[in-house]
């Protein structure tokens, strides 16, 4: 029997148990067609209301937890190059280096790309719906890694705040870098972007390839 | 087609089963499109089927009250229309 080693797995099992109980009650009702007396009504309320609500609730949380993980981001084929690089233990890209850090781990895509405001999780997931829309309408029939589709780019410039979750800009080792000292205020205010210098984030991504299509006037990818 | 309480409950049960299938598929195969379908369509029709069931029960209770009045007049007691 596989081990349950995360809340997500536990929630998935709870959702499946709720679904099985609900299905058993409903199939029993549809097959046997008992008279609608009070015990049957209560049983149906469990099968039609309580258990499906349990499936929806636990399934939503388990689904949300899974959407934070790198395999979920990689489930759209256009992300293949990004995810392969981030998962490559030999890669020296920023994405791969951070993915090897336990703080990021399997959730490295989300940790760096999520919005960090009060409703950051909601706006991030709404952007996820936008990703899905573009995937279905523009990338669904593109090559193995999205070749032939429009250049993949962020909706808005990458914010230094994502880097500053860990790199507080006050640690001695960070401050010891001459370039950091010279532009400390600009970095803190966001005027100077971290990835302006540390640009090797997703080097194998399609946007960086020579053959990638790039619509006129579109900015270079910011990851 | 005659709409009866039993028929409403049966429709509600079938629709709930469909909603559960949608939600379970998204749990077993968590792909973006399936997750969106489960969280929107699956939960939407699940809620609709519960509303349908509650409507059926409300109708049944109304029918039950009518039969109580008939009981006072000497007719046979029952909790609702007979099963088909």
Indicate yes or no: CB of A29 within 8 angstroms of CB of B30: no
Residue B69 has pLDDT above 50, yes or no: no
Give the Cα separation of A110 and A112 in Å (integer). Answer: 5
Q: From the centroid of its chain, how far is CA A151?
A: 20
* pLDDT at residue A155, rounded to an integer: 84
Give A59-95 pLDDT, tens digit per residue.
989 888 888 899 999 888 888 889 999 999 999 899 9
| The model scores a pTM over 0.90 | no
* pLDDT at residue A208, rounded to an integer: 52
Indicate yes or no: CB of B24 within 8 angstroms of CB of A55: yes
For residue A164, give Cα distances in angstroms to A20, A116, A117, A159, B67.
45, 11, 14, 9, 71
Q: How many CB atoms within 10 Å of residue A129? A: 12
- In chain B, residues with a C-beta closer than 8 Å to the C-beta of A66 are 30, 35
- In chain A, residues with a C-beta closer than 8 Å to the C-beta of B9 are 29, 36, 44
* pLDDT at residue B82, rounded to an integer: 54
Ranges assigned E (strand) in A111-213: none
Give the ipTM of the model, two decimals please: 0.74
Indicate yes or no: CB of A26 within 8 angstroms of CB of B79: no
B5, B60 contact by CB (below 8 A): yes
Q: Could you tell me how many CB contacts below 8 A there are between chain A and chain B?
A: 104
Residue A36 has its nearest CB partner, among B20, B36, B80, at B80
Among A14-23, A36-45, A195-204, A208-217, where is mean pLDDT lowest?
Answer: A208-217
Mean pLDDT of chain A: 85
Indicate yes or no: CB of A29 within 8 angstroms of CB of B13: yes
């Amino acid at each position: 029997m596989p081990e349950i080693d995360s809340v997500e797995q536990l929630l998935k099992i709870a959702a499946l148990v709720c679904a099985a109980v609900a299905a058993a009650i409903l199939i029993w009702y549809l097959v046997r067609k008992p008279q609608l007396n009070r015990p049957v009504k209560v049983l149906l309320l469990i099968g039609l209301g309580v258990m499906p609500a349990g499936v929806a609730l636990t399934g939503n949380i388990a689904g949300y937890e899974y959407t934070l993980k790198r395999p979920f981001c990689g489930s759209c084929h256009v992300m293949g190059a990004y995810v392969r690089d981030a998962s490559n233990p030999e890669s020296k890209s920023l994405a791969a280096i951070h993915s090897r850090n336990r703080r990021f781990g399997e959730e490295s895509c989300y940790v760096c790309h999520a919005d960090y405001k009060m409703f950051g999780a909601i706006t991030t997931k709404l952007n996820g719906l936008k990703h899905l829309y573009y995937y279905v309408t523009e990338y669904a029939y593109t090559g193995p890694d999205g070749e032939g589709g429009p250049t993949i780019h962020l909706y808005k410039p990458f914010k230094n705040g994502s880097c500053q979750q860990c790199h507080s800009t006050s640690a001695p080792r960070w401050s010891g870098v001459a370039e950091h000292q010279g532009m400390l205020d600009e970095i803190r205010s966001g005027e100077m972007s971290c990835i302006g210098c540390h640009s090797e984030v997703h080097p194998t991504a399609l946007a960086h390839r020579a053959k990638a299509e790039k619509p006129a006037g579109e900015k270079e990818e910011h990851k | 087609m005659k709409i009866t309480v039993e028929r409403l409950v049966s429709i509600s049960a079938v629709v709930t089963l469909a909603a559960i299938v949608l939600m379970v598929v998204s749990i077993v195969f968590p792909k973006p499109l399936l997750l969106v379908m489960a969280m929107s369509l699956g939960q939407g029709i699940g809620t609709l089927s519960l509303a349908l069931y509650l409507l059926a029960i409300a109708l049944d209770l109304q029918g039950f009250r009518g039969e109580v009045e008939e009981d006072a007049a000497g007719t046979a007691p029952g909790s609702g229309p007979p099963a088909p």
